Amino acid sequence: MRSTISDTLPPKVKRALAKLGIDISLARRKRSLTAMMMAERLGIAKSTYLKIEKGDPTVSMGAYAMAFFALGFDEALGEIIDTRRDDQGLLLDAERLPKRVRARKMPQPL
């Protein structure tokens, strides 16, 4: 039996996707847009858009990105994994720094 992406996702990721879908739905309704209007703006079927609002992991990243753009959150996508705020990555970089640095010896001319 094949497992789907939905079956293998950790619960924390499922919850995050569900919250993202709810947030997209809320943002759409605050802008007085119907689901059909959003689907047309994204160039996708209404059923696919409704999957976005449910946080379905099988919907393409591009469709989610277009939803961000249509709602005016296009810059947020580039900020999701910002290396300046990656505390774990910065800590790993600091651990990899050498304890001391030595000047290289230059070869003696013949």
Q: What band does 40 get if pLDDT is binned at 50, 70 and 90?
A: very high
Residue 65 lies in a domain: yes
Q: Alpha-carbon distance 42 to 14, whole Å?
A: 23
Show the tokens assigned to 1.
């039996």
Residue 109 lies in a domain: no
pLDDT computed for residue 1 by the predictor: 57
Q: Percent of the chain scored above 90 by pLDDT?
A: 59
Q: Alpha-carbon distance 43 to 7, whole Å?
A: 28
> Any alpha helices (H) in the chain, and if so which ranges?
5-8, 11-30, 35-42, 46-54, 61-70, 74-79, 87-96
Name the residue range of residue 25's domain. 5-96
Residue 110 lies in a domain: no
Q: For 106, list phi and psi in degrees, rounded to 5.
A: -85, 140
User: What residues have CB less than 8 Å from 51, skipping those under 6 apart?
Assistant: 58, 59
Question: What is the value of pTM for the model shown?
Answer: 0.76
Q: Could you give the number of structural domains in the chain?
A: 1
pLDDT computed for residue 105 by the predictor: 83
What CATH number does the domain containing 12 carry?
Answer: 1.10.260.40
Residue range 32-38: average pLDDT?
Answer: 98
